[in-house]
Structure 1
Amino acid sequence: MNNVQSLLTTIDNFVWGPPLLILLVGTGVYFTFRLGLIQFRHLPSALKMVFSKEDNNKQGDVSSFAALCTALSATIGTGNIVGVATAIKLGGPGALFWMWLAALFGMATKYAECLLAVKYRRVDDNGQMIGGPMYYLQYGVGSKALAIMFAIFALGVACFGIGTFPQVNAILDASEISFGVSRELSAFVLTALVAFVTLGGIQSIAKVAGKVVPTMALFYVLACLSVIIMNADQLIPAVELVLVSAFTSTAATGGFLGASIMLAIQSGIARGVFSNESGLGSAPMAAAAAKTDSCVKQGLISMTGTFFDTIIICTMTGLTLILTGAWQSDLAGAAMTTHAFAVGLNANTVGPLMVSIGLMFFAFTTILGWNYYGERCVVYLMGTKAVLPYKIFFVVLVASGAFLHLDMIWLIADIVNGLMAIPNLIGLIALRHVVVEETKRYFESAVELTRQPELQN
């Protein structure tokens, strides 16, 4: 058994090693410059689109905002609390800078993959929109083999990885430690809630995500801001520490063992990509359901997901850990973040409660988002008739997750999560000209529309 686990650990380290990270960031760098720094030039207008009133007569299942919230429900998760703590514990404060860099380039990747998802989407037997890497790999690239490969890997992540066991355990641990609720009762309530929401399909998931995601993100950001304001005198030195540590080795201090520049880069980029999922191919499946007549417009709206996830929420967690000195403690993961809030707010009860509530909501919406992604993969592989059996199977997995502590399953999930990215990145690189042409056409027509009143005058 130990031999199998050590083999899986080796495979995991290889999959998430420098080649994949370079490919992920490199794809983002390519699209950033090929599209004329689109994520910097058009972020203000993209944010305006997110919060603007929409025309509901367009083709699609849910609003663009609801599609974005569904994607965010899957990405804003335990990675924003545990992942950031892990990155800084390994690579020091400099890891936060490399998370920012991965996110800034990742926004261009997210734009490209969500644009392609809308361009190549189809309508299923139930009249619902279906799209994502499976469809642009099959109909754009012309490779059904790559499409099937992606769908199998993504389904594996939904059922046996990010979508179930880690999230279920995070919720049950938080409810047991902070509120003294038994694991059995928490598991029953959680399973009932997941079944109730997911059986209603994308409209039900999007409705819950549209309310819970903005609320929980705002709640968590306000909690972090409270710590930052209470330690405002240390904010500039903390930001300086992040920037200096990104390019110099971090010395061992307190419980921190020290880190090289390479370790800061690797841990920062790996956790950044893992958190916002840019290039992994998950968000395009939600983007494809959006009510929109423009693949470029949906791409712009979708790329803000990476901005919200990493640039805002991960930054807040990172600054909280650095300002309070929690990163130098002997603690790790959620325990480190809990300690940071306890120190930062001078409250031994409020801090842990904030982290626990944040973790519970983040984990719950991640389950919902990945349930939907798994459903889209099932429809692609086996048709709409397989949706109900899949949903029942998924709910059973959520219920059983309460009683499983299988490190091996999480290792497999980590491997499959990384493998998802490979066929997706092949598709993005193969269809790069389509992304460029669609973008060019959209902005040229936008310029033309603004010029028409001038010509009439």
Structure 2
Amino acid sequence: METLRQWILALDSVLGSAAYFPYLLLGTGLFFTLYLGFPQIRYFSHAWRVVRGKGKFDHSKLAGDTSHFQALSTALSGTVGTGNIGGVAFAIFLGGPAALFWMWMTAFFGMTTKFVEVTLSHKYRVKTTDGTMAGGPMYFMDRRLNMKWLAIIFAIATVISSFGTGSLPQINNIAQGMQASFGIEPMVTGGVLAVLLALVILGGIKRIAAVTSRIVPIMAVLYVLGALAVIAYNIENLLPSFLSVFEDAFTGSAAVGGFLGASFAYAFNRGVNRGLFSNEAGQGSAPIAHASAKADEPVSEGMVSILEPFIDTIIICTLTGMVILSSGVWTQKHNNEFDRSDMKYVAGQYNDVDEHDRVELGKFLNGQDSEVDTFTGTLIVADGRSMSGDATLIAARSVAENIEYRVGGVPFTGELAVEKGRLITPKQDGAPLSLTVWGDSLVHSARLTTIAFNQGYLGDYGQYVVSIGLLLFAFSTAIAWSYYGDRAMIYLVGVRGVMPYRVIYVSGFFWASFADTSLIWDLAAVAIVLMTLPNLFGLLMLSREMKQTVKDYWQKQSD
């Protein structure tokens, strides 16, 4: 598993984590924002009129499978998910308050990017042999750019991303939240929800749209009310928290508490990366849902999509971010079982109270030159406690404290090997021991958000808002992404590929309920970029056509 994770991280280093990627993503949104004259601002009110479907915007009798609102709900259900709960927490955990600023920037320019990709995808959609609509970037790449090879790459990446974005991280966060709040074993949660997922997606887009159009409004109201209960309780910290997002935006976030700091480059990269995971602007996923909408004007559906990053990131992600920042839990260490992928041993004794140690450890974690080096050697453990003084455990990017090694819940005694910072699982009679490592460290993802929601007027009941929110958000995301994947399969192999895909999709959904969380996030990050790069290329190639299409739309509106 560790070898697999290292391979995924190596791939991510030349894709989403590469220096060029955030600039390419934001640059594309900036280009279209200027080229089309700030459509995310000028067309915002028009978008609301279209989605309400009143008067001349009532397109119920036109070709398509869903209404504007249902298409928006399906696309929102695909974006409003773990990225809004676990993803924001993960971004702040990695980059501090500054990461939230770059999530906002990704959303603002992403509103224009999504407008462009949805319009072009709707324009070149097709009717399949089963009578339903199919669209997405692969169709304008094929039918307009005559680049079938690029369309195939995108479609394959969509299938991969449906697992890396829609199936695996969603159930992983649901299961984690349900276990933390209700003590339900992850495998049980995964099994029950896998059955429900299968029942929904077998009904196709009409059943998917019907379910998501009901879930999305309910889950949004529930989550917003819960977040406001925490923010109001910590109201004296709201303004300082909000200001810290801007103060650190171009300098990086300074060390505070157990947080060892993040450089500007690190916060920028992680903020943009998590922003994309949350609102998916530029990824090319939402256009697949919008292609099902009943409309004869592609631009009108593009208008509707402008609302997605606004609702998803500007509203919901901001609420999550303010809950985490104002409650202060993001700088505090909490007792937890460490994920192996979050653990790294460094040579020598370090602590986060000494200023010199904080600086050097911060450089080490942010990929900068540092005197800190990984540890290779042996740990002597007695009654669960390490007797070795020549190594420091970094867990979840913080100096771990009160560390205890257990086997089957019992304190471990013996020797543990560490190689290049990684703990090697000991064996007994040739079989690996079920070694777990517990202690105090920073936490991330849904676990961090759950702790933050307990710091408000709801007290410990706040965790249930996160658990239920995760359940609804993430499950609806998994539903939407199953549709994206099966439309990609239709493009690749035809309708016959849909059922095998759905079976594998549901199986992967179940498996991920009890898999390593960090591995899931790493896989999701790579899968997203495998879709985004071909999509951005296609959008830029059709920039002139997009501008003319918008001009023609407004000409018709004035006639």
TM range (shorter): over 0.9
Q: Distance in 1 between matches of 2:224 and 2:522?
A: 30
Is the CA contact (8 Å cut-off) linking 2:65 and 2:206 kept in structure 1?
yes
Q: Is the 8 A contact 1:320 1:344 kept in 2?
A: no
Post-superposition shift, 1:168? 2.0
Is this contact kept in 2: 1:78–1:359, CA < 8 A?
yes
Matches within 5 A, 1:159-308: 160-308=163-311
1:149 alignment partner in structure 2? 153
Return the alpha-carbon distance in structure 2 between the equivalents of residues 186 and 261 of structure 1. 39
Equivalent-residue separation in structure 2 for 1:409 and 1:314 (angstroms): 20
Q: 1:178 to 1:249 in 2, by over 3 A?
A: closer
How far 1:359 moved relative to its partner? Answer: 1.1
Match among 93, 97, 102 for residue 101 of structure 2: 97
Helix, strand or coil at the partner of 2:184: coil
CA distance in 1, matches of 2:190, 2:329: 31
CA change 1:58–1:27 in 2 (3 A) is same
**Please, which of 87, 108, 114 is the counterpart of residue 110 of structure 1?**
114
Equivalent residue of 2:262, what SS? coil
Question: What's 1:64 paired with?
Answer: 68
The structural deviation recorded for 1:264 is 2.4
Aligned pairs for 1:7-156 (under 5 A) are 7-16=7-16, 17-53=18-54, 54-156=58-160
Change (3 A) 1:193 1:222: same
Closer, same or farther: CA 7–81 of 1 in aligned 2, 3 Å: same
| Structure ranking higher on relative contact order (CA contacts 8 Å, 6+ apart) | 1
Cα distance change of structure 1 residues 23 and 369 upon mapping to structure 2, 3 Å threshold = same
Paired residue for 2:5?
5
Q: What CA RMSD, in Å, does the superposition of the two structures yield over aligned residues?
A: 1.8
Alignment of 1:406-445 (within 5 A): 411-445=522-556
Inter-partner Cα distance in structure 1 for 2:552 and 2:122: 16
Q: CA deviation at 1:397?
A: 2.6
Q: Deviations over 1:33-78 (max 9, x none)?
A: 0110110111122123223443310111001111111111111111
Taking the aligned partners of 1:275 and 1:125, their CA distance within structure 2 comes to: 33
1:141 is paired with a residue whose SS is coil
What 5-or-longer segments of structure 2 have no aligned partner? 333-441
How far, CA to CA, are the matches of 1:380 and 1:142 in structure 2?
15
Shift of 1:184: 4.2
Distance 2:239 2:8 in 1: 42
Distance in 2 separating the partners of 1:340 and 1:358: 14
- Compare 48-57 and 94-103 and name the one that shifted more: 48-57
Task: Tell me the percent identity.
Answer: 44
Cα deviation code 1:89-124 (max 9, x no counterpart): 222212211111111001100000000011001100
Instruction: Please report how far the alpha carbon of residue 204 of structure 1 lies from its aligned counterpart in structure 2 after TM superposition.
Output: 0.4
How has the CA–CA distance of structure 1 residues 235 and 411 changed in structure 2, closer, same or farther, with 3 Å as cutoff? closer
Partner of 1:332: 444
Distance in 2, matches of 1:46 and 1:222, equals: 25
Q: Which amino acid aligns with 1:9?
A: L
Query: Unaligned regions of 5+ residues in structure 1, if any?
Result: 450-457
In 2, the alpha carbon distance for the partners of 1:7 and 1:196 equals: 35
C-alpha distance in structure 2 between counterparts of 1:71 and 1:63, whole Å:
12
1:156·1:413 contact (CA, 8 Å) conserved in 2? no
1:349-368 matches, cutoff 5 A? 350-368=461-479
Residue 453 of structure 1 aligns with which residue?
A: none
Give the length in aligned residue pairs: 446
Are the equivalent residues in 2 in contact too, given 1:379–1:386 (CA < 8 A)?
yes
TM-score by length of 1: 0.93
Q: Is the 8 A contact 2:277 2:525 kept in 1?
A: no
1:332 alignment partner AA = H
SS where residue 161 of structure 1 aligns?
A: helix
2:175–2:514: 8 Å Cα contact kept in structure 1? no
Larger Rg over CA atoms: 2
Instruction: Decide which structure has greater helix share.
Output: 1
Q: 1:249 to 1:128 in 2, by over 3 A?
A: closer
CA change 1:362–1:252 in 2 (3 A) is same
